[in-house]
């Protein structure tokens, strides 16, 4: 297939907000691909090269861009091979060789193809084909049930490879994808609850009410003496957490997959700041703000678990949570997150208060009847916090004034478009920014720069920040029709990607009951 056909599809996606139209457009393209073309094309249209981080920045691309070709000749294979060659080129002279490879592919690209490559390689491809839309398109193109595709994606962890199986082998091939101890499973996520009473009423009496720890999500796999530890984004961190590896090898089992949290504790047994826990993972991003690296490397991480997905040859994903918790108690009961089973409203409220008193974020209310399903399918897991918080995308930052002169300060905040479009701006804030955060932002933000003017540095949608707010109000100032009230920065979330930020729907759900909102084009 010509690369131009993929670029044209991307453009068509960007011209519509209709989810159904996006799915149909993608499905038509997927149906025309050769098997070898599926992985790169699905990765590109989901927003990233299949090779992962390429280390190619906007300035490098601009320096080698040159004049565009008059006609389209590049194939999907041509572009994919070039990107592989760029990533694999290392050592002496690699900078020059990488530039030569990029110059060649850009020189053979039309203007539209050049623009697509720029946006793909700099993380700014916003044509509205995020994982959810692409998953639906794969089901459509392959004629397989959506639930089957979703389950295979959960177990494989990679959407392009799932697409290959779906398009080549259909439902039978997808059904053959099982849980593989040592390969991460895409995590199940919680939806925000309006209140504890609301969550209890929604899920009924058959629930587990658990502490919501202020830690970092981990997934621990053990098969014999082989141990792997993954983050919520499926990044492997085994080498940086030897205490968790040693813990796993002492468990009374042969094979296990556990889902949980890890955090560092003070001498008094209270949780240390989230940033200190994240710094142990070697994230290289916001988790290290203001940290003493030597001291943090010496911190021990304590594991706490809330789910068991596999135990000694038995997959438990399809079992109800009650069964999975029984397995968890057998293998790691001493490290289970504090929880109450089937509490009444008074006991649940007391557990909530106890979680806050212990320094944790709040509680989770989970249906004991629900199987394990990646993402936020339904509302079987609900999180309850004492204040409103949102995980939002940083879209830009304005230069400060007064004592903040010379620092990037006032943040532009965006919510995720559930239909895969660009993040939707919902407000600004400079509150909650410590001197350490101001220094970090000023050094870090240019690495994610999309463009700038005299007042503002605009960023690619890559950084997620947790915002506390007093509520939401209707506003014509921002395109989503809502604005944050008294927003303040709590912390950055290096454990989350922009695809995991809260949606505009979650923001609008915080409006007072009975108030409608109309989005604008501004």
Tokens of 212: 């919501």
Query: Does the pLDDT of residue 514 top 90, yes or no?
Result: no
Mean pLDDT of 378-405: 90
Where in the chain is CATH 3.30.470.30?
A: 191-384
Distance between CA 228 and CA 6 in Å, rounded? 36
* Closest-CA residue to 394 (of 486, 466, 339, 290): 466
Query: Residue 247 is encoded by which pair of tokens?
Result: 């813990």
Q: List beta partners, residue 391.
A: 466
Provide the mean pLDDT of the chain: 89
Instruction: Examine the residue annotation and report whether 212 is marked as an active-site residue of this protein.
Output: yes
The answer on pLDDT for 127 being more than 80 is no
Q: pLDDT grade, residue 51 (50/70/90)?
A: confident
pLDDT at 406: 93
Note whether 456 and 412 are within 8 A (CB). Answer: yes
Residues of the chain with CATH 2.40.50.140: 388-508
Contact between 492 and 392 under an 8 Å Cβ cutoff? The reply is no
> Class of 191-384 per CATH?
alpha beta
CA distance 351 to 342: 12
Average pLDDT (214-222) is 93
Using 50, 70 and 90 to split pLDDT, how confident is the model at 303? very high
Per-residue pLDDT at 149 exceeds 90? yes
- What confidence tier does 128 reach under pLDDT thresholds 50, 70, 90? low
Residue 416, pLDDT > 90, answer yes
pLDDT of 269 reads 77
* In the chain, ranges of CATH 1.10.3260.10 domains: 3-175
pLDDT at 147: 93
Q: Is the pTM of this model over 0.85?
A: no
SS3 147: helix
Q: Which residue has the higher pLDDT, 305 or 122?
A: 305
For domain 3-175, which CATH number applies: 3.20.20.450, 3.90.1300.10, 1.10.3260.10, 2.40.50.180? 1.10.3260.10
Per residue in 375-390, pLDDT (tens digit) is 877 789 999 988 788 9
pLDDT digits (tens, 9 = 90+) for 249-265: 999 999 999 999 998 88
Please give the CATH architecture assigned to the domain spanning 388-508: Beta Barrel (2.40)
243-257, 285-299, 449-463, 485-499: segment of lowest average pLDDT:
285-299
Which 3 state secondary structure label does DSSP give 110? coil
Q: How far apart are CA 287 and CA 282, in angstroms?
A: 8
**DSSP tally for the chain: helices H, then strands E:** 18, 19
Instruction: Grade residue 290 by pLDDT with cuts at 50, 70 and 90.
Output: very low
Provide the pLDDT confidence category of residue 291 given band limits of 50, 70 and 90.
very low
List the catalytic residue out of 22, 212, 366, 383: 212
| Whether residue 53 has pLDDT greater than 90 | no
User: Per residue in 62-91, pLDDT tens?
Assistant: 888 889 999 999 999 999 999 999 888 888
Q: Are 401 and 423 in contact (CB under 8 A)?
A: no
């Amino acid at each position: 297939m010509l690369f131009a056909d993929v670029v044209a599809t991307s453009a068509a996606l960007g011209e519509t907000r209709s989810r159904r139209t996006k799915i149909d457009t993608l499905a038509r393209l997927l149906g025309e691909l050769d098997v070898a073309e599926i992985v790169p094309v699905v990765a590109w249209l989901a927003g990233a090269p299949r090779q992962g981080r390429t280390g190619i920045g906007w300035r490098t691309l601009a320096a080698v861009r040159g004049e565009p070709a008059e006609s389209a000749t590049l194939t999907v294979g041509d572009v994919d091979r070039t990107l592989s060659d760029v990533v694999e080129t290392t050592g002496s002279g690699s900078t020059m060789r990488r530039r030569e490879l990029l110059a060649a592919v850009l020189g053979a690209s039309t203007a539209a193809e050049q623009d697509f490559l720029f946006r793909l390689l700099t993380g700014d491809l916003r044509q509205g084909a995020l994982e959810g839309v692409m998953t639906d398109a794969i089901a459509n193109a392959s004629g397989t049930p959506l639930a089957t595709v979703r389950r295979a994606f959960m177990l494989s962890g990679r959407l392009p490879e799932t697409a290959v199986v779906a398009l080549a082998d259909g439902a039978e091939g997808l059904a053959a994808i099982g849980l593989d101890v040592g390969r991460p499973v895409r995590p199940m996520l919680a939806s925000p609850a309006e209140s504890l009473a609301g969550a209890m009423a929604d899920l009924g009496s058959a629930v587990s009410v658990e502490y919501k720890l202020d830690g970092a999500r981990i997934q621990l796999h053990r098969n014999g003496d082989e141990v792997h530890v993954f983050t919520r984004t499926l990044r492997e961190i085994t080498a940086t957490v030897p205490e968790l590896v040693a813990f796993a090898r002492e468990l009374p089992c042969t094979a296990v997959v556990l889902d949980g949290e890890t955090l560092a504790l003070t001498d008094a047994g209270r949780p240390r700041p989230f940033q200190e826990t994240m710094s142990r993972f070697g994230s290289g991003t916001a988790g290290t703000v203001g940290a003493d690296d030597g001291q943090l490397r010496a911190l021990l991480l304590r594991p706490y678990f809330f789910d068991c997905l596999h135990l000694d040859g038995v997959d438990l994903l399809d079992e109800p949570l009650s069964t999975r918790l029984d397995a968890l108690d057998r293998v790691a009961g001493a490290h289970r997150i504090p929880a109450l089973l089937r509490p009444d409203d008074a006991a649940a409220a007391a557990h909530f208060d106890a979680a806050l008193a212990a320094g944790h974020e709040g509680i989770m209310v989970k249906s004991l009847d629900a199987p394990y399903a990646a993402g936020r399918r339904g509302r079987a897991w609900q999180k309850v916090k004492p204040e409103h918080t949102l995980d939002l995308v940083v879209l830009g930052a304005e230069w400060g004034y007064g004592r903040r002169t010379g620092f990037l300060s006032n943040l532009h905040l965006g919510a995720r478009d559930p239909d895969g479009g660009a993040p939707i701006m919902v407000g600004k804030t400079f509150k909650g920014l410590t001197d350490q955060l101001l220094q970090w932002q000023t050094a870090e933000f240019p690495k994610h720069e999309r463009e700038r003017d005299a007042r503002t540095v605009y960023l690619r949608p890559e950084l997620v920040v947790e915002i506390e707010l007093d509520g939401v109000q209707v506003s014509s100032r921002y395109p989503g029709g809502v604005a944050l009230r008294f927003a303040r920065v709590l912390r950055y979330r290096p454990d989350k990607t922009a695809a995991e930020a809260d949606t505009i729907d979650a923001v609008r759900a915080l409006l007072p009951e009975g108030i409608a909102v109309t989005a604008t084009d501004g």
